[in-house]
Amino acid sequence: MNTSAAGSVASESQGTVLLVDDTLENLDVLDELLSEQGYEVRRAINGSMALRAVAADPPDLILLDVTMPEMDGYQVCVELKKNAATWDIPIIFISALDDIFDKVKAFQVGGSDYLSKPFQADEVLARVKAHLLQAYLQKEVQKQKDLWRHRDEEDRERIDTLTRQRDLERQRAEQYQERIQILEEKLRRLGLNPEQL
């Protein structure tokens, strides 16, 4: 998702959305809807194709149908959430299944949201935008945390270096003081007053 420091979306792309549905008509409708709003849209017609597409080039968000042959949307979501490289991609389930069980299961497997078919265009756009913004902000927060962690590590290294230098200087000062005391003692043995020198 291309955004400026202020969080407004840049003009070239609102983000990349992967559509996963085995019904071409659904893909066409969603593709047109999202493309018109400036989103880069990619498509997959089944779960295994979706997993390959995500592995090759992770999208910013996935709109995922639940009922597909071979591998359903829940299985796709589980696979993506197990992978460290893809676990944080927001997944919005979009399905004709409107039972509470199906909706709850979508969240249990790691889904970010659930839209029932037939969907309203404005609702799809609002949810896509909200989840992309949330994902972007989470990544920015993580970048800041990583930056502060890195700076903290650098500060600790500097403190350790300064502490070692201070300890070395203290050790040298103590050695210097010991040498002076030894010299003063030798001078006294020779009958000389070190303070008169």
Q: What pTM was estimated for this model as a whole?
A: 0.71
CA within 13 Å, CB half, 118: 3
C-alpha distances (whole Å) from 87 to each of 39, 101, 168 are 21, 23, 49
C-alpha distances (whole Å) from 119 to each of 3, 33, 37, 74, 128 are 27, 12, 17, 19, 13
pLDDT of res. 89: 97
pLDDT of res. 107: 96
What is the residue extent of each domain of the chain?
Answer: 16-146, 151-194
Class of domain 16-146: alpha beta
pLDDT of res. 82: 96
pLDDT of res. 16: 96
* Residuewise pLDDT in 10s, the chain (197 residues): 544 433 444 345 689 999 999 999 999 999 999 999 999 999 999 999 999 999 999 999 999 999 998 999 999 999 999 999 999 999 999 999 889 999 999 999 999 999 999 899 999 999 999 999 998 998 899 889 888 988 988 889 998 898 999 989 999 988 988 888 888 888 878 888 767 66
pLDDT of res. 196: 67
Rounded Cα distance, 1 and 172, in Å: 57
